Chains A and B, each alone.
Chain A
């Protein structure tokens, strides 16, 4: 950009050699003209990036969709594991009740102490496994942290999409040497984009902007 500015500055607006001979308003006018040429050159250069920018913009909804699917899939997978854990927990509850009844029945029949010790060992093992099941359950909270990170990524991508669409709108008419009518349309779209700045991007608006500037 510095080079472009230097190039723009190297082209004098007039052939008059001495600036101090000019009236202040003439000098200001010439400087404004020089600045306008610099902006024009810069805009033309930047407009060359319009096609790759629009391609990236077109792919962003797909990326957003992948992230949303990822969140849904981790959520579904987590619920599936939870369902199995809860089923085992329920079975353990039933088994613990049965072991308690059996132990009482064995105590009434004055069963051998070794038999009662085995019943106690079974009960202890179930208790230890219950602890492991609870650990599995709490470990599944990773899904919540993943979902929060994915939500943040979605927000960032929506912001990037918004900015890229603004670039397409700004440089689209410039690249195509559009008529005033198209530039008015671009101005209108910029206003619509600004209105959606703090909300999720309306996909219809994004599609319309890309279509308007020849990216279907």
Chain B
């Protein structure tokens, strides 16, 4: 099923510039219902308070890392089906394996292009 352009997407990153870049790319790809959070903890609070169709999250963040947020999402009955795309500067194989084991939907390494983002979203929502 293709991605719903009206679904609410949560962009999680501690860097304001990266949140703005990811939101801009998603907007250019046709998604307009975009929210943001500065860390995993804030993201979990928002995810529990509203209905989201997709999460794009950074790996390295203060307060709560992206990988810990992912584990919390997969452990929560009401959130576990939300697709999570991890965006990270950490290209190590160990991190990728850790994310896969934690239930990540897909994985993008920084710096990335709009085409890469589109490709990953297409794969998640195929």
Question: A residues touching B (Cβ–Cβ < 8 Å)?
Answer: 75, 78-79, 82, 85-86, 89, 130, 134-135, 137-145, 147-148
If A134-B28, A134-B114, A145-B111 touch, does A140 touch B21 (CB 8 Å cutoff)? yes
CA gap between A139 and B18 in the complex, in Å: 11
If A138-B113, A140-B21, A145-B89 touch, does A75 touch B28 (CB 8 Å cutoff)? no
CA gap between A85 and B114 in the complex, in Å: 15
What residue of chain A has the Cβ atom nearest to residue B20's Cβ? A82
Q: Is the CB of A137 within 8 A of B89?
A: no
Nearest 5 CB-CB pairs, A to B? A141-B111, A144-B18, A78-B17, A143-B17, A144-B15
What residue of chain A has the Cβ atom nearest to residue B117's Cβ? A138
Q: How many residues belonging to B are interface residues under a CB distance threshold of 8 Å?
A: 17
Give the most central of A86, A139, A140, A142: most B CB within 10 Å. Answer: A140
B16 within 8 A of A: yes
Chain B residues, CB < 8 A from A142: 111
Chain A residues, CB < 8 A from B13: 144
Binary per-residue interface labels of chain B (31-60) against chain A in the complex, 1 for a CB within 8 Å, 0 otherwise: 000000000000000000000000000001
Chain B residues, CB < 8 A from A137: 21, 24-25
What residue of chain A has the Cβ atom nearest to residue B22's Cβ? A141
CA gap between A148 and B114 in the complex, in Å: 22
A157 to chain B, nearest CB (A): 18
Contact partner, B20, options A79, A89, A130, Cβ 8 Å: A79
A79 to chain B, nearest CB (A): 7
Write 11 A-B pairs (CB below 8 A) sorted by A numbering.
A79-B17, A82-B20, A82-B24, A86-B24, A134-B24, A135-B113, A138-B21, A141-B110, A144-B89, A145-B89, A148-B60
Q: Is the CB of B20 within 8 A of A141?
A: no
B112 within 8 A of A: yes
Chain A residues, CB < 8 A from B60: 148
**Residues of chain B in range 86-126 having any CB-CB distance to chain A below 8 Å:** 89, 110-114
B33 to chain A, nearest CB (A): 17
Contact partner, B16, options A75, A130, A134, A138, Cβ 8 Å: A75
Q: Is the CB of A144 within 8 A of B25?
A: no
Chain A residues, CB < 8 A from B113: 135, 138
CA gap between A78 and B20 in the complex, in Å: 10
Chain B residues, CB < 8 A from A130: 28
What residue of chain B has the Cβ atom nearest to residue A77's Cβ? B17
B88 to chain A, nearest CB (A): 10
Chain B residues, CB < 8 A from A143: 15, 17
Chain B residues, CB < 8 A from A75: 15-17
What residue of chain B has the Cβ atom nearest to residue A149's Cβ? B89
Chain B residues, CB < 8 A from A82: 17, 20-21, 24
What residue of chain A has the Cβ atom nearest to residue B111's Cβ? A141
A133 to chain B, nearest CB (A): 9
What residue of chain A has the Cβ atom nearest to residue B62's Cβ? A151
Q: Is the CB of B18 within 8 A of A134?
A: no
CA gap between A86 and B24 in the complex, in Å: 8
If A79-B17, A79-B20 touch, does A138 touch B114 (CB 8 Å cutoff)? yes
CA gap between A152 and B57 in the complex, in Å: 21
CA gap between A78 and B60 in the complex, in Å: 20
